[in-house]
Each structure stands twice: as structure tokens, then as C-alpha cells.
Structure 1
Amino acid sequence: MDHPANTLSLVADIGGTNTRVALANGREVLDQTIRRYANTDFPGLESVLQRYIADEGNVNPCAACVAVAGPVRDGRATMTNLDWTINKDTLQRATQAETVAILNDLQAQGHALGYLDPANIRNILEGPEGQPHAAKLVVGVGTGFNAAPVYDLEHGRIVAPSECGHANLPIRNEMELRLCQYVSTAHGFPAVEDVLSGRGLERAYAFLGQEADDPRESAAKDIMAACADGSDPRAVDAARLFTRILGTVCGNLSLIQLPFGGVYLVGGVARAFAPHLAGFGFGEAFRDKGRFAGFMGNFAVHVIEDDYAALTGSAAHLKALLSA
């Protein structure tokens, strides 16, 4: 494929299992250039990007941005669920791009807000329309859990990084206390991510089996399938428990960040749960804040159903850098 030299940007979304790479023209990701690579086939990101560049006819990008599932500090990223370390030197060497950037994957999702097709945004809880510069919040629920506030300031957008998935799980009742004790046996600490993730849903299912003195295991995809067809009451109970804890955590984060511009759930698990959130009590748990229950109505909640939103966010971030 023939691409104009030094014109397009290269963007990548690096997950724990796969890396998705694409070219972008400004903020627009070119759908026909999206390619997916299995991380286990490569020793590191540099070789993935070199393969992509070759696959796209030795394209010469003017800029490159990668979104990574892990913390980023001083231009260096460490993957949470993958033994790769990524820095700007590596990215520049692999792409030969003049401008490079590294974002946490939730930061990339935050930079995508406002540039996604509205058809790919599902409304979960209604709320008043926020002002153009109102803060927003992206909450990622997938292989792990994380959230990031989004601020639109006069000089541009800031998406602050965080690792809030590793904070303590909230506890509201005796059952949730027992759940915390159950998940803490994994590594001695009951983190939010230990329940609010794909693996966490499996733990919730196993916990309910222990509670019923009928231990059984089930994979996350099978639990969600059973919720859809009603074939396993325990799967429904596990999904309901998961949903209410998700509502509690999102409500807590909303009180901390005051996202009057909306809360946006992203990630594969969030998309899978989207049809069930209303029926399984997300809204009730989200607003269960005592005398602030009414105040919680200020925050609309949505699910982003665009699997490539992080690529769009990376392209938008590069566009802002190149325009500065």
C-alpha cells in the first residue's frame, strides 16, 4: 500500500494480549489500515511497529503515539500485564517519526472524547448536559480496572493518569466484607481490580460458590453468556454483585472528580455489561450516597462501544501536539 511520506501519524493501542496499530490523518483513524498483532509473537514493541510499517508498504509517519496498559512516567511506560518496557527512544527508533508520545491507555480514551461517533456511545444514566469545559471521567473495565479525569482547559486537554484500580475495594455490608477477604487471598490485598475486571467477575462467581457451599468455576465469557440466556442463576447473581460494586466505585470516583461532563465506561468488560447495567442495579448503587444521593443525578453515565477509541484518542493527542 502506498502512503504519502511524512504526512500520516502512526497510532497504537498495546494491551496485555494484542497490539493494534493504525495510521491516522489528523484525528481520523484510517480504518483500512488497522492491524492487530499477538504480543506473544514479538519480543517487544519495536519489532511490532517495524512489522506494521513493513506491512503498510514501509510507510514513513510524521508522528507516532502509543497507548499502553500500564503506568507512564517521564516518557517511560511499564506494562502491567506484559513484560515490555517502552520509552520515547524506542518509539522514535522504530518509527523514525519526528514527534512521538506515550500515553496510558485510559489517557488515550480520555483524549478520544468528543471525537467518537455518537452511535458508539450508549447512555446508561441520564444527567444534565455539561458545559463545554466541564470535567469528564473515563473508567476502564477490562483485563484490569482504572480511571482518569479529563479536563478541557484554555490551552488544551489534560487527561491525568492514575492507577486507582489498585486502591482498596469499598465495603458496604457483611457480604462485601467476606468478598474482600476472599479476593485478598490472591496477593494479600483486596484491590478494586480484583473484582472489577474479567478475572474479577470469575472471582465473584467462585466466591458465591463458596458462600453456597457449592464451589464451581466459570470463565467470564461463559458467565456473561449465561446472563444473556438465563441458564445459570449463579452467573446472574455474580453479574449483579459485580454491577453493584461497579456502581459504588464509579459513584465514589464521581464525588472525587465531579465529572459534570459525564462518566464514560470503556473496555471489553464494560461493553459486555452494558445491556445489563440498568437491570442489575448500577444506577441504584451509583446514587447510594446518603444525603448526596440527589446530587449524584448531576452525573450522566455512558458506555463507549468503540473498540478503537484509544487509537482515536492517540491521534487526537498527536494532532494537539503538532498544532501547539
Structure 2
Amino acid sequence: MGELILLGDIGGTNSRFALVERGATAPRAVRHYKNADFPSFQAAIEAYVADVGERPQAGVVAIAGPVAGETVGPTNMARFRFRPPELTAALGFSRLDVINDFEAVARALPHLAREELQVIGGVEAGAPGGNVAVLGPGTGLGVGALVRGGGRWTAVPSEGGHAEIGAPDGDWARAHEIIRRRVGRVSGEHVLSGPGLERIDAALRELAGDARRLEAAEIGPLALSGSDPVAREAADLFLDYLARFSGDVALMFAAKGGIFLYGGVVQKLSPLIDPARFRAAFEAKSPLEPFLRPIPVHLITSPTPGLAGCAAAAADW
């Protein structure tokens, strides 16, 4: 057996771990943990190693935040921040690479099976070898890309989720203005995330004279059941933001190979996506509609693409 490598995908709420033998790209022994259950990232890793009963010798971990400076970790999880050299030594690893979480998901895109993807709209396939990009609403909004150059793929990490997002049309512009008054400049993450869904719902309730403030975990089921008209409208506005921002990301990265959507919020709300309406909002980027029209949009249904991306990164060692 070759070198055993730990794979980690650390979000703002949950961490996922797996193992892979060096050179392989299929993670095994996948486990999910709630970050709230651990005082530190090291403690979560040690709990996983104890659970699976195998000792890795190296690791690749993806974090929901920028990989810069001496201390890294999830942007929204201060106690999980760590110094990579110190953690490498504490775990007894020969090597520990840290990458952005959506760089990891981008690296996974060539390895996803067809059954792990759901087409949104009628465009099935993009340009062969064309750049691809991924964005994902979860605790925050991650954005990453895979670009082709010199005959090989290069993963591009990004903080594109913090780029500004434009106001929607019609009555929804009033809800956008309420959000702007509360947060200032409205970024993609301000509306395309779990907290973002809560902001959208709260703004629409204010317009409807409803003083309730619901959490994302409540809004989604109400929208899916159709039992609360405001929650359903909040989901529709969320998906409008998502379609328009996806078009922006496609332009940013010239993603002729396709746009991929991932994240707990969009996966849960996906039954409410109207494919024709989504495509129309995605392509409405005058004068570049012809550029966007042949670009496919896929929903990633795999629960752990970040781990597959970490395995792909380790395979390049």
C-alpha cells in the first residue's frame, strides 16, 4: 500500500474527511462532522483518524476562505484557524497542502460522473477543453474555476463571491434596496448563501408587513411546500440572483466549458428551479447573449466534490 493521504473539506458549518492512497482520485472512508462539536481543526482531524482507525502520512485540506498569510482557516470559523507548518508537525505528516474550498471543487469537475450532474436548461455540453467555473451558495458563496493552458488544467482560486451583485428588476428591486440599506454594498455572498436567503426573506416580509424573521432552515421547507407565499417568493428571488450571478461568473472566466452550481442551499432549493426562467436570466447580459447562449449550466448533486478535488490535487504531487 502506498502513502495514505488525508483529505479534508472544511466549511463554515461542517467538515468532511476522507482517505486516499497516493495517485488515486476516488476518496474512501468519508465522514461528516459538525464544526461546533470540536474546539479546533486539529481536534476534528484527530477524531476522524480515531474513527476510521487508519493513520495518514500526509494531507490536502480545502478551507472556506482565502489561503494567504501564516494563519489560515474558514472565514466564518475563527477557532478552526491554524498555522500549516505547526499542524503538519503536530499530526506527524510529511506534507500538508491547504487550498481554497472552491479551488478543490473546481479540480473535481473533470472527475465527476454524469449521474452526479443535473442539467439546468437545454444546453447539454460546452466547448471541449473550454474553461469551467463553479459557484456555490452555502454558509458563504464560493467561486472557483479550472482554466486550460499549455495542454493542462490549472485551478484558479477566487474570492469572487464578494463581487458586487446588481439589483433585480421590478418589485424585487425594492427588496434589494432594503438589503442594501442593511449591509451597504450588496455582494453575491450577501444574498447567495444561507444568511443571504434569510436577508431576502426578511426584506420581502418587511414589504408585506410581516414582522417575522425566519432562519434559512425554515424558509427552504416552507418554500418547497408552497405553504408560505413569502418564503416561496424569497426562493424565487434567490434563484434569480443565482442565475444572474452565474452569468457574470461565466463572463469573468470565459467559462465556455460550463458553469457548475454546488452548495447546500442551492441543492435544497433545486426542485424550485424553472429551467427556462433560469436560462433567460443567465443569458441576459447584453450585448454578450451570443457568448453565453451555448454555455451549459449544471447542478452538482454529489455531496463531496471538494474531497474529490483534494484527491486530484494530491495526485499531482
With the length of structure 1 as denominator, give the TM-score of the two structures: 0.89
Sequence identity of aligned pairs in percent?
32
Q: Secondary structure at the match of 1:86?
A: coil
The SS at the match of 1:216 is: coil
Residue 128 to residue 239, structure 1, CA distance change in 2 (3 Å): closer
Tell me the amino acid that sits aligned with residue 26 of structure 2: E
Task: String of CA shifts for 1:259-312, please: whole Å, max 9, x gaps.
Answer: 111100011012112222226832121111233323321210001011111011
Contact 1:76 1:102 in 2 (8 A): no
Task: Work out whether 1:87 is the aligned partner of 2:83.
Answer: yes
Contact 1:106 / 1:161 at 8 angstroms: preserved in 2? yes
Q: Partners of 1:81 and 1:157 in 2: how far apart?
A: 30
**Pairing partner for 2:65 from 59, 70, 79:** 70
Partner amino acid, structure 1, of 2:41: L
**AA aligned opposite 2:74:** M
Instruction: Please report how far the alpha carbon of residue 71 of structure 1 lies from its aligned counterpart in structure 2 after TM superposition.
Output: 0.8
Does residue 288 in structure 1 map to residue 297 in structure 2?
A: no
User: Does the 8 A contact of 2:19 with 2:56 survive in 1?
Assistant: no
Counterpart check, 1:260 vs 2:256: yes
**Structure 1 residues 234, 279: closer, same or farther in 2, change over 3 A?**
farther
Instruction: Please provide the CA RMSD for this pair.
Output: 2.2
2:218 corresponds to which of 211, 219, 222: 222
1:104 positional shift: 0.9
The superposition leaves residues 39-82 of structure 1 with CA deviations (integer Å, 9 ceiling, x where unpaired) of: 22323222222232233325133x31001111112575232110
Cα gap change, 1:74 to 1:152, in 2 (>3 Å) = farther
Would you say the 8 A contact 2:131–2:145 is kept in 1?
yes
In the other structure, the counterpart of 1:15 is: 11
CA contact under 8 A between 1:60 and 1:95: conserved in structure 2?
A: no
Report the CA distance shift for 1:218/1:311 in structure 2 as closer, same or farther (over 3 A): same
Go from structure 1 to structure 2 and tell me whether the alpha carbon gap of 1:215 and 1:14 turns closer, same or farther (over 3 Å shift).
same
Tell me, in whole angstroms, the C-alpha distance in 2 between the residues paired with 1:120 and 1:219.
29
1:75, 1:317 → 2: CA distance? Answer: 21
Shift of 1:103: 0.9
The whole-number CA distance in structure 2 between the counterparts of 1:175 and 1:98 is 57
Letter in 1 for 2:302: D
Decide whether the 8 Å contact of 2:132 with 2:146 is kept in 1.
yes
Partners of 2:149 and 2:82 in 1: CA distance:
29
Change (3 A) 1:279 1:60: closer
Identify the range of structure 1 (152-161 vs 139-148) with the bigger mean alpha-carbon deviation. 152-161
- Aligned twin of 1:303: 299
| Counterpart for residue 169 of structure 2 | 173
Q: Secondary structure at the match of 1:274?
A: helix
Gaps of 5+ in 2: none
Instruction: Give 5+ residue unaligned stretches, structure 1.
Output: none
Alpha-carbon distance in 2 for matches of 1:128, 1:22: 31
The residue that corresponds to 2:25 in the other structure is: 27
TM superposition shift of 1:158: 1.8
Equivalents in 1 of 2:81, 2:154: separation in Å?
24
1:115 to 111, 114, 120: 111
Deviations 1:80-135 (A, max 9, x none): 11013233313422432323211111111001012122211111133363344210
Checking the alignment, whether the CA contact within 8 Å between 1:239 and 1:280 is kept in structure 2 is no
Choose 298-307 or 182-191, whichever is displaced more: 182-191
Q: Which range is displaced more, 167-176 or 135-144?
A: 167-176
Aligned mate of 2:206, from 205, 210, 224: 210
Note closer, same or farther for the CA distance 1:280–1:90 as it changes in structure 2 (3 Å cut): farther
Are 1:101 and 2:133 counterparts?
A: no
The answer (yes or no) to whether the contact 1:75–1:101 under 8 Å persists in 2 is no
Greater Cα offset, 63-72 or 151-160: 151-160
TM-score, scaled relative to structure 2: 0.90
The alpha-carbon deviation at position 174 of structure 1 amounts to 5.8
Q: How many residues align?
A: 314
- List per-residue Cα deviations over 1:162-186 (Å, max 9, x = no partner): 2122222212436454333322344
Contact 2:65–2:100 (8 Å) recurs in 1: yes
Cα distance change on mapping 1:190 and 1:126 into 2, 3 Å:
same
CA contact 1:240–1:281 (8 Å) conserved in 2: no
2:303, 2:241 → 1: CA distance?
Answer: 24
Structure 2 vs 1, CA of residues 85 and 99 (structure 1 numbering), >3 Å: closer, same or farther?
Answer: same
Q: Please, which moves more after superposition, 267-276 or 148-157?
A: 148-157
